[in-house]
Structure 1
Amino acid sequence: MKILLALILKEAKQIIRDPSSIVIAFVLPLISFLIYMYGVNLDAVKVTVGIKNDDGSVEVAGLVNSFGNSQYVNSLEYGSMDALKDAILSSKIKGALVIPNDFSDNLSKGKTAQILIITDGSEVNTANYVQNYALSITEQWLSQSKYQGKITKKFITIDSRNWYNPELNSHNFIVPGSIAITMTLIGILLTSLVIAREWERGTMESLLSTPVRPIHIVLGKYISYFILGMLSMGFNVFLCTVVFQIPFRGSYILLFLISSIFLFSSLGIGLLISSFFKNQFMASMVAMSTGFMPALILSGLLFPINSMPIFFQYLTALLPPRYYISFIESEFMAGGVNEIRISNAFYLSVLGLILFIAVYRKTQTRLEK
């Protein structure tokens, strides 16, 4: 026990003396939260749309005004197609609406009336916004116009209710999800440099000359960085709930419990990487490739997993951040779902145990050498 406590104290002093550890654990989460809170926005955006109206009726003029009154659309009127094309080409507008001269006549006669919607396909998300906004505004105007009785199509009244995130505020799931990115950085990137740094500095040889058992080395590094990670976790939760006022509806006890299991598995990945590479640069590159980038791209935080190719959907099943992000978003927004808690905790526990055994065996092999 004395040997273990001495190794934990050694690691703690090393963490305190290394500014990068403090930066990754506390400064980086703050920067990450600021970026996700104020720099990343997946909510509906206001787009600038050009309108060319060839129909001179008063009713259609009301349709044009509807675009100008929308909170999601900034409309500009153009008199010619050439001017409209130049505006799209120069990115002054993100889309266009062309109303033909027989639009109102066709509506009066109960015929199909067509409207041309032009979007800039080089920006896919914005193009989808333009199409959806144009269709929504047109249908709303049509349902309130005098042409409603001329239309044989039955309108369906939809009463929409958004559960768990009524405001449809993307920050309510992006900001909590970024905790997984921070914990991944601490668990994988930071610890991947630990053993590699000791080999570079020559302290590993000194450690091997002492009567230290492999389990002491493994537990000493696990416990030290586990404490650092959980302190960072508490700091992250404080930023989410107190500073940025993100709603939390779950259990703090279960949040920290399952977060500790996720950190345990992430520490195993980082220490396993550091046991294979004696060079800090190589260890950090492998950690970024196998830890940080998959956690950001393949975890479901920014891109839906069910929209990925089948191969990557199966690949994400091997990534711990996928399960942790699923849990933490449920805990923040839905108040926690027992099925999600149990399944994710079970997977992370099994993975963490397998990685711990692998790290122990690899450390034991290096000691024998």
Structure 2
Amino acid sequence: MEFIDLKSQYQALRTQIHTRMQAVLDHGNYIMGPEVQELEGRLASYTGASDCITVASGTEALLIALMAIGIQPGDEVITTPFSFIATAEVIALLGATPVFVDIEPDTCNINATLIEEKVTPRTRAIMPVSLYGQPADMDQINAVAQRHGLSVIEDGAQSFGATYKGRKSCNLSAIGCTSFFPSKPLGCYGDGGAIFTSDRNLAEAMREIRIHGQSARYVHTRVGVGGRMDTLQCAVVLAKLERFDWELAQRRRIAARYDDLFAGRIDTVRQRPDCEGVFAQYTIRVANRADVQAELRERKIPVAVHYPAPIPAQAAYAKYGYDMHIPVAGEMTRRVISLPMGPDLDDASVERVAAAVLRVAAR
């Protein structure tokens, strides 16, 4: 059993992937080739955003977004302590300060009701993460931002395809970012990412920053980075779009099956009633995580822990202040465990995983 079965996905899309990649090999435009523009148009249409800018990774997407809104040393950006390190990393790289707000115990997303009390005169932006594939309470977050003149950047690295109140993730705020890392719900075969906005000025800035701050060849109007997504990776994502909606439906069906098997017995990460998540991970919360891991390991069932420590507890981020103001995040790092999930996971495997978890829970 695979934690994420990319091999079966490849076999299902083998012809489309080969055809798309061969087209790139034939025309030879490996950087900013026609597939880049095609993918950007397809993704923008999918989310409803006016513009999509493909970039080299999900991390690069966040960095470019922060650069586009002018984040400077000394600024503060409010975010979650319960995420992959990249969320805070890009803030720190620009010399700004990540300010951590605790999470909701049921969704594990940033607790929007706690954000406003962390706003100071130095706050410039809020960066919520759509964790495990479902957005946070974006309306409330956007309302706080509007009251204080802040920008909102959705870190949708895990949630492309998800919806919040009928609107697509990555088009829920001024800027949305996503990742095409291979294990994501829509992944390529290397690194890749995208930024979404309906603000044409921001779109222009981010397109220039992506190519070393160029407005034209050798005309550098702003400081930038080498942040392009290569044409071959765009070709892979274009091929995977062919069955993306089917894959999302399968992920949701599998999650519902897990829910049924665990109902009343295992604490799962809750889906908001106004969200339709994409289940980048299917995550449960248990008090005896080590026992669950040992049981599943013995039965050759792969699991993962996202994430084993709050970001400010990491040595590189200790200077930003790890204290007891994020008790929920601290508790979740000790309890969460993610189970096998993917569109090609069969019902028998889901039942096998659930049975193993329940066997430990019954002890």
TM-score under structure 1 normalisation? 0.25
- Of structures 1 and 2, the one scoring higher in RCO (CA 8 A, sep 6+) is 2
Structure with a larger share of its residues in strand: 2
Question: Which of the two has greater helix per residue?
Answer: 1
TM-score after normalising by structure 2:
0.25
Which protein shows a greater Rg?
A: 1
